[in-house]
Every structure is written in C-alpha cells, then in structure tokens.
C-alpha cells in the first residue's frame, strides 16, 4: 500500500480555522481585516493559510498570494508584491488598465513588462501610495484577500508595505493574511518592531499555532497511513516530535520502516537521515539546491551541477519522489518541501564546500543570466549574492552595482542602498584594474546616498553624499553641481534650509556664467530654498535667472519649477501677478509631464488664491492638483497639503460637509509627519465653529506629537488661535492672552506671514474684549498696537483687521462692526460674515436701535443655521431673547416654505443636489460620479441630509421629496 508523506485532511486548530474563515466571511461582506499566523517551523502555518485561500476562492473573493524570498541574509526586494502583481497582469482581466490606473508604470516596471531604463525615481512612500491606490481600485471590483507568506524573510521595503497596508484598510473590502516563523523573529529582527506596533495599536488577530496534542497527532498520522497508527509508533513520534506536524511526518517516515528506538538523536540528524539511501548524485543536487536559496530554476540547477542533464533530472526526480523537493510556485524550478530540511542540508556543509558551490552559481549566472528567466528572481541580485559568497569580488562588484540599479528601477530604495554600500566596501578591496572603468567611488557613494534618501534614511543619505563630495576635485564643477542638488534636497528634508542655501550658492559660483542646463537646475533649486528661509527678493531673482537659463537650454522642468517659485515669491510680497506665474509654471510642468511639479504648482496656486480670499478659484486650482498628486504617489505628502487647501476653501465658503469628508479621506491615508498638520488644524477649526469642543484637546494633542518646526508660522499661528479660542470659551482670559502674546508678541514680523498673524490677533482681542467687559481693565497694549500697525495686504487680512478693531470698540459703537460686515461681504466667507453681523446687531441693539438690529440678527441666524455653526446660532438666539426680536416671522416662514419646502431643513446647495439624486434612485458611487466628488463625500452628504431631515433611510428621503412635489 502506498503511504503519503502528509495527510490530506487538516487536523486540529478549530479556533485558528474559525478565525481565518471569519476573516474571509467578513471580507465577503465588505469588512476589512488582518490576521497574523505565526509559529515555529513545521507547525502547520502553510496548511492553515492554504485553507484560507481555498475558502476565499470558494466565496468568490479575489486572492493575491506572495512569498518573501530569502537571498543570503537578506530578503529579495518586493518579492511577494512582484509575485502577486504577476498574477494580476497575467490574468488579463477586463478593465485591467482602469484598475492599474496611476500605478500602471510601477506595476509594469516591477513585473519586468515596462521599460528597463532608469526612468523617474520614486520614493518608498510614493510606491506605498501607488500600491494602496491599486489595492483600493481592485477591491472596488470584488473583495480582495492579500496573502504574504514567510514575512520573517521580508526585505525592508516589503515590511514597510505590509505595515502601510495594515494601517490603511479602513473603508476598503481588503483582507490581509500574513504568516511568519516565530522562532526566526528575535528582539533584533526588523519584523519584531512591526509586530509590537500592531499589538500596541490592536491591529489584527494574532494566531500563534501551538503544537498538536496526542489525539490530534493520532489523526494526522492516520491521515498519512490510511489507518490508525500502532501505539508504539504513535508514542515514538509524539515523544520526539512534541506535536510539531512537519517533524511528526519526518519521524513517521523513519519509524515505519525500522526500530522506533533507533531514531536519530537530534533534529538535524533526523532530517539528514532522509538523505540516507539516496543516490550520491541526488545528495549533490540537494546540496546545490540548498545553496540557491528558497527555490532554484531547473535550468540553473542543471547548469550549475556541471553534470549531464539526464543525470541531473533523474536525481531531481528521486528527490521529488522522496518528498524532499517540490515544484516551486512559478512552475519553473524546485524548492525544499520544508525550510527546515534545507537548513539542515546547508548547515551540514563545510564553509569551503559552500564557497565552492556559490562559485558554481556565480560563474554560470555571469555567463548565462537567462537561466533565471521566468523564475521571478533578480539576475543581478542573485549573481551579486553568489559571487560575494564565493569571494569572487570583481564579479560581485559589477553585479552589486547592477543590482542596485535594478532595485532603483523597481523603486526598492532600501535594497538599492544595501547593494551600493556593499559595492563601496568591495571597491576598497580591489586594485584599479579590477574595478569597472565607467565608475569611480564618488559615483558609487552618490548612488548610495540617493537610495538612502529614497528610503527615508536622511542622516545616512547626508553622510554618504558628503563622502561623495569629498571624493570629487574642485574643478569637477558638473558633478559637484549634480551632487549639490541632491544634497540640498536632503538638507531641506532635515530642516537645514540655510545650509542648503550656502551649499547651492557655493556651487553656482563655481559654474560658468553662461546659461547651461546645470545652471538652470541649480538656480531653480536655490530659488526654492531661498523661499524656505523667506528671502523673497533673493528667491525671485534666482528664479528669474533660472527661467532664463532653462529657456535658453530647453530645460522645461527647471523652467516650470522656477516659474512656480517666482509666483510664490511674488504672491508672498502682495503681488497678484504671482498667480499668473504659477499658472504658467503649471502649464510648463504639464507640458513636461512632471506630475510632482504640477502638484507643487497647484498646491501653491490654491494656497495663494485662498490667501487673497478667492476661495472658489482656489477650489478650481486644488481639484486637478489632487489628481496630479495621485498620479505621482504623493497623496500622503504634498497631496496632503493640496487636500487641506481644498478643504480650507470649502470650509471658508460654508461647504463644511465637503471639507470634513476631504479631511477624513486625507487623514485615512496617514499623511507623513508634518503633512498631517494642515488637516488636523482644519479639523480643529471646524470643531470649534460647530461647537464640538470635546474633540479639540485631542486634536491639539495630535498636533503636539507632529514634528512641527516651532518657527514655522503657518502651523504655529493656527495652533495658537485654537488654544486662544479654547481658553476664551473656558473663560480663562489670562491664559488666552498669554497664548496670543507668545504667538505674536515678537518685535518684528515678516510681511509674508501677516495672513497667519491676523486671525491670532483677532482671537486674542476677542478674548480681551470679553475680559475687559468683566474686569473693566484695559486691553493688552501689544495686541492693540499690532491691530493698529500690522500690514493688511489682502482682503481677508483687511477683514480680520476690521474684526480686531471692532472688538476693541466693543458694543459701544456699531460703525466698526458695520465696516467688518462690509469687508467680509466682499470676501464672501459666510462664518466671518455671520459673526460680524451678530456683533453688529448686538452693538446696534445696545445703541437702542432695535429695528435696525433685526435685519443683521436675522441674517446672522440664517447663516448659522445653514452652516450648522451652533455657537453662532446660540449667540443669535440669546440676543433675540434679550431684544425680543422674533427670529422668523410666521407669515414670512409660511410663504418661504411654500416657495421652497426644503428651507426649514437648513440644507446647503450641495446637499439639495445630493437629495434630488437620492430621490432619483442614485447610489452613492453614481452621485459621486455625477457631482465629481468622492464616494466618501457622497456618503457623508447622505448621512448629514438624513440627520437634518430626521429620517431613517434613503427611501424615506425619496418619499419626502415626492410628497413635497420636488421630484422631476
């Protein structure tokens, strides 16, 4: 009777089986989830994962599976991602191009179906964003299960991807199933930190597989034998395996043909005992396969053996029939049935034997790299690994450089850096004649620095760049200039803008005066850097020179970048001509096809327009900018600024639901570092305006945790304004004054920053006015002086000045409030207008002019009701009670409701549009497409509408529209 090596039935693990089935079931209904399967080698992780994959397929889910691949002591870059993406592109699914979307180039490059030139560099964060977007689009078709096995072998890029996906599942029908060997993950292992962070955040379900008990082991052996095992066999196997499924299977193969008392004394000897009785040629093939790594293509194994193909294939067949090797996932090679067996075979070899076998692979791969075709393995990385292990350093040097380039093309910056740094180490061990002529040490260091920067390792990137600079002669202006450009970017990322200015200025001084492409690049970079230190005149001058050099040399990207910087410089100096320069820069960036520069241009254009109070135009500018940011994979960085700009403009125009949805979408993507700040600030302002004070302390705490430069006023001032308002509402006026003075009480203020100062000055004086009304003291002289002297270059700053001056006047004189009302009518921001109207009504009533107070009070109350600004509405109601002004005339209300039956519900214009589409039977995605908004925004609108109508669901809302006679 034939006896198998493993049972067909899955034994035991009822809790774990239920957990993975629950993941699949919940995923099928649209609920995301994460399950981590861990355990020692041989415990049954792969069997459990395979059951989950099979069940997911039965439930009709999409499933993408990837395995981490060990190459020496390192993982192969993005191995599971590449494997999964190959499954996707091979599927030729209908609508594949639409699903790939902005990630198309990334996918084609990673799966070797795209161009193999260096192309545009992408940072690690850009890759993560593009992959997340791809996952989101895939899951919109059908729920998606992503499986990554052997995460303990994952490279840094793969671990970052796993962490990013796990943190960003909210709202997507995506499930993650990861497995790893717990006995491989000690406290220094890179995966340990990730697991700890998941535990701390309570992300996912951890399934630590325990060993089988005696009853479960009996069932396992019975499944293999086809009958219950003899008690002596069961006793021997259970005692020695201690319930490890793989070891039990291996022990059974030894026990069933011999004396149970004669078992090998150690695990290694047990596994090596499986080789006893095999032909010597088969043992040689197994040793060669163990050297290869996780798997080895058949053609490579045959070539490296140096033996006739027929003999090698016969040896492979014997190893397969002995259940030692199995066909790998790609179907072109073989791997050990279990990693423990490979480890035992590898460890049984002497160091010299390993070196010799690595040498065989290195020589074969150097001569015939096509032997890896179809295997999913990197030819350059494999050659570098084997040549370095074989001490064949000249070959290892060239292969490491090639592997670094290949990893860079595949956006695996961590791995590229490792390859380049290994090349740098090898370089010093070789004579000049053994090194490639087209490279020098400076170039290797430059490449390593670029890779480190792409990986987000800023300090090592700067150190490597400085080492490269030290290798170059003073007369090597072209290469020094190129290095200065990249080093300047690193310095800016480290917050050392002035050092970057010094570096770029010094390199420019060494270049010829004539226009060159390199001069255009340096001038453009210097202009942008000078902008960071608020040297606006210097920035504008350098940007103008960059534009001239760029146009003379056809350097379109440098021209676009410089025009954008020039526009910002002009705008910050109060010159609206900056808007035209920005639009010109965006047009040139579009012509160049540079999505990142386009996103930068749209970000600054939207911000500048908003600073002038041109909010509708700012919305029109920011909207296509977000699309550019998505194409570039920078939604978590510069795209987060764009989303905040768009949200700010919608907030200013009273479109609070849209603003809230934009902020939620942006924060769901987990913006990097300081890029989160803008969204959190606007969340805080929205909470304040709505009267949701309970959430403000948590938002302020989130802001304190971010790496915000304490001198960066675009963040410092809005934070201070929130703090001042929180203290004012709590009637802690002394704290409010201290906070305001800490923010604005410096001797001098840069004219470009007045837009950030004025709201704080107004908030401070608002708190001061309330304090003075209680104590009778004088308002703070510093705030009073600033209100009378600070520049007001834009309509919104004029509006805030008028509010501040009106606060000083209090309710004694309506005229300052009338001026504030006029200013905010011109700007068109409803909340500020509503506040000024309320205070005008209060001052007018205080002067005894109750009839004159009625109109501004009614208008203020109407604005508050339409916005959902509860504190403003409360203020209007209280004033109405004090003055006995009726907020709504019954006859007027009846007439208005007859003309507009929805008026009573306080729906915004956009909410009315959404309600009509709901009544027409449209789904949220259909509403989103018709109104050019996101599905999340449509969902938020529907929820808000139902709340305002006091209805339970869409059917009831549609019924109301029909009863009111409003349906088409």
Q: Which residues pair with residue 5 across a beta bridge?
A: none
DSSP state letter for 148: E
Angle (CA) 620-626-629 rounded to 5° is 145
Residues 826-847 have pLDDT tens digits of 999 999 999 999 999 999 999 9
Cβ neighbours of residue 390 under 8 Å, at least 6 residues apart? Answer: 355, 356, 358, 359, 361, 362
Which residue do the tokens 């007001």 mark? 792
The domain made up of 14-208 is a member of CATH 1.10.3720.10: no
pLDDT at 576: 85
pLDDT at 1: 30
pLDDT at 816: 97
Residues 459-503 have pLDDT tens digits of 999 999 999 999 998 888 888 999 999 999 899 888 888 999 999
Residues 423-470 have pLDDT tens digits of 999 998 988 888 888 889 999 999 999 999 888 888 999 999 999 999
The ranges of the chain with pLDDT < 70 are 1-10, 71-76, 91-95, 112-124, 254-266, 747, 889-900, 903-906, 932, 934, 936, 968
d(C-alpha 543, C-alpha 558), whole Å: 10
d(C-alpha 690, C-alpha 865), whole Å: 11
C-alpha pair distances (Å), 965 with each of 899, 945, 959:
11, 18, 10
d(C-alpha 521, C-alpha 304), whole Å: 49
Topology of domain 739-896 in CATH is 1.25.40
pLDDT at 796: 96
d(C-alpha 45, C-alpha 369), whole Å: 34
Assigned CATH for 909-963 = 1.10.10.10
C-alpha pair distances (Å), 115 with each of 118, 423, 745, 752:
8, 25, 57, 45
Determine whether 628 is exposed, middle or buried from the number of CB atoms within 10 Å of its CB (0-12, 13-18, 19+): buried
Sequence ranges of the domains in the chain: 14-208, 214-258, 265-375, 739-896, 909-963
Contact status, residue 453 vs residue 490, Cβ threshold 8 Å: yes
d(C-alpha 213, C-alpha 195), whole Å: 27
Contact status, residue 528 vs residue 542, Cβ threshold 8 Å: no
CA 377, distance to chain mean position in Å, is 27
Question: Hey, which CATH number is domain 265-375, 3.30.450.40, 1.10.10.10, 3.40.50.720, 3.30.70.260?
Answer: 1.10.10.10
pLDDT at 91: 66
DSSP state letter for 751: G
C-alpha pair distances (Å), 716 with each of 658, 706, 787, 792, 913:
25, 12, 19, 20, 38
pLDDT at 586: 96
What is the pTM for the complete model shown? 0.75
pLDDT at 2: 35
Domains 14-208 and 265-375 share a fold: no
Smallest CA-to-CA distance from 600 within 520, 658, 516, 532 is with 532
């Amino acid at each position: 009777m034939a006896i198998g090596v493993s049972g067909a039935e899955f034994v035991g693990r009822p809790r774990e089986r239920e957990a993975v089935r629950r993941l699949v079931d919940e995923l099928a209904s649209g609920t995301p989830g994460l399950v981590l399967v861990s355990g020692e080698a041989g415990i049954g992780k792969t069997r459990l994962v395979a059951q989950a994959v099979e069940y997911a397929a039965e439930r009709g889910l999409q499933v993408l599976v990837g395995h981490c691949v060990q190459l020496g002591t390192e993982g192969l870059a993005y191995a599971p991602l590449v494997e999964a993406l190959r499954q996707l592109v091979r599927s030729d699914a209908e609508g594949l191009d639409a699903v790939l979307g902005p990630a198309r180039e990334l996918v084609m490059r990673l799966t070797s179906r795209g161009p193999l030139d260096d192309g545009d560099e992408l940072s690690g964060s850009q890759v993560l964003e593009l992959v997340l977007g791809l996952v989101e689009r895939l899951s919109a078709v059908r729920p998606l299960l992503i499986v990554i096995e052997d995460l303990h072998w994952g490279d840094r890029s793969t671990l970052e991807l796993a962490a990013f996906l796990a943190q960003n599942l909210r709202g997507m029908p995506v499930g993650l199933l990861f497995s790893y060997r717990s006995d491989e993950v000690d406290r220094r292992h890179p995966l340990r930190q990730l697991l700890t962070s998941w535990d701390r955040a309570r992300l996912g379900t951890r399934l630590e597989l325990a060993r089988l008990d005696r009853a479960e082991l009996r069932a396992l052996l019975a499944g293999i034998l086809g009958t219950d095992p003899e008690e002596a066999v069961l006793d021997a196997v259970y005692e020695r395996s201690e319930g490890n499924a793989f070891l039990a299977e291996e022990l059974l193969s030894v026990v069933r043909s011999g004396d149970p008392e004669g078992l090998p004394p150690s695990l290694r000897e047990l596994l090596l005992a499986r080789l006893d009785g095999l032909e010597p040629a088969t043992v040689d093939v197994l040793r060669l396969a163990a050297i290869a790594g996780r798997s080895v293509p058949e053609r490579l194994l045959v070539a490296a053996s140096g033996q006739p193909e027929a003999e090698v294939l016969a040896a492979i067949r014997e190893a397969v029939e002995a259940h030692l090797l199995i066909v790998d996932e790609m179907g072109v090679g073989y791997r050990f049935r279990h990693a423990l067996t490979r480890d035992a075979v590898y460890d049984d070899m002497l160091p010299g034997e390993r070196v010799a076998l690595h040498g065989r692979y290195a020589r074969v791969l150097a001569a015939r790299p096509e032997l890896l075709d179809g295997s999913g393995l990197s030819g350059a990385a494999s050659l570098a690994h084997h040549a370095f292990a074989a001490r064949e350093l000249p070959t290892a040097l060239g292969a490491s450089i090639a592997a670094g380039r290949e990893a860079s093309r595949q956006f695996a910056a961590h791995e590229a850096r490792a390859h380049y740094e290994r090349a740098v180490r090898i370089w010093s061990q070789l004579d000049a004649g053994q090194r490639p002529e087209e490279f020098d040490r400076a170039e290797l260091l430059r490449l390593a620095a670029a890779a480190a920067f792409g990986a987000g390792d800023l300090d090592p990137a700067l150190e490597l760049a400085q080492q490269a600079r030290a290798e170059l002669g003073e007369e090597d202006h072209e290469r020094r200039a190129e290095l200065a450009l990249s080093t300047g970017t690193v310095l800016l990322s480290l917050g050392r803008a002035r050092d970057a200015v010094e570096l770029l200025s010094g390199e420019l001084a060494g270049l010829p005066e004539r226009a060159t492409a390199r001069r255009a690049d340096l001038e453009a970079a210097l202009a942008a850097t000078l902008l960071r230190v608020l040297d606006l005149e210097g920035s504008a001058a350098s940007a103008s020179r960059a534009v001239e050099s760029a146009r003379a040399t056809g350097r379109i990207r440098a021209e676009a970048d410089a025009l954008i910087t020039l526009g910002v410089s002009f705008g910050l100096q109060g010159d609206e001509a900056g808007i035209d320069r920005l639009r010109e820069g965006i047009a040139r960036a579009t012509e160049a096809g540079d999505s990142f520069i386009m996103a930068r241009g749209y970000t600054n254009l939207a911000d500048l327009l908003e600073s002038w109070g041109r909010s509708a135009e700012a919305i029109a500018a920011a909207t296509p900018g977000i699309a550019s940011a998505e194409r570039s994979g920078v939604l978590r960085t510069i795209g987060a600024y764009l989303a905040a700009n768009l949200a700010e403009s919608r907030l200013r125009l009273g479109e609070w639901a849209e603003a809230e949805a934009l902020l939620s979408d942006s924060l769901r993507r987990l913006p990097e570092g300081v890029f989160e700040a803008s969204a959190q600030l606007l969340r805080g302002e929205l909470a304040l305006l709505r009267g949701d004070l309970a959430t403000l302390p948590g938002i302020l705490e989130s802001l304190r945790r971010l790496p915000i430069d304490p001198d960066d006023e675009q963040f410092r001032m809005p934070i201070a304004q929130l703090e001042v308002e929180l203290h004012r509402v709590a009637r802690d006026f002394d704290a409010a004054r201290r906070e305001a003075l800490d923010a604005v009480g410096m001797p001098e203020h840069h004219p470009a920053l007045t837009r950030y100062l004025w709201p704080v000055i107004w908030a401070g004086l608002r708190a001061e006015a309330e304090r003075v009304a209680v104590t009778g003291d004088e308002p703070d002289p510093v705030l009073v002086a600033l209100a009378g002297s600070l520049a007001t270059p834009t309509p919104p700053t004029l509006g805030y000045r008028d509010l501040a001056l009106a606060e000083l006047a209090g309710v004694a004189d309506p005229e300052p409030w009338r001026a504030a009302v006029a200013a905010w009518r011109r700007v068109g921001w409803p909340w500020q207008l509503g506040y000024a109207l309320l205070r005008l009504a209060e001052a007018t009533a205080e002067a005894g002019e109750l009839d004159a107070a009625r109109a501004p009070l009614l208008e203020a109350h109407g604005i508050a009701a339409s916005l959902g600004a509860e504190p403003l509405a409360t203020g209007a109601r209280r004033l109405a009670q004090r003055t006995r002004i009726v907020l709504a005339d019954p006859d007027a209300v009846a007439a208005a409701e007859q003309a507009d039956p929805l008026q009573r519900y306080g729906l915004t214009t956009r909410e009315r549009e959404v309600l009509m589409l709901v009544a027409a039977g449209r789904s949220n995605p259909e509403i989103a497409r018709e109104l050019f908004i996101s599905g999340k925004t449509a969902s938020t609108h529907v929820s808000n509408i139902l709340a305002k109508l006091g209805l339970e669901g869409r059917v009831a809302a549609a019924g109301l529209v029909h009863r009111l006679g409003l349906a088409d």
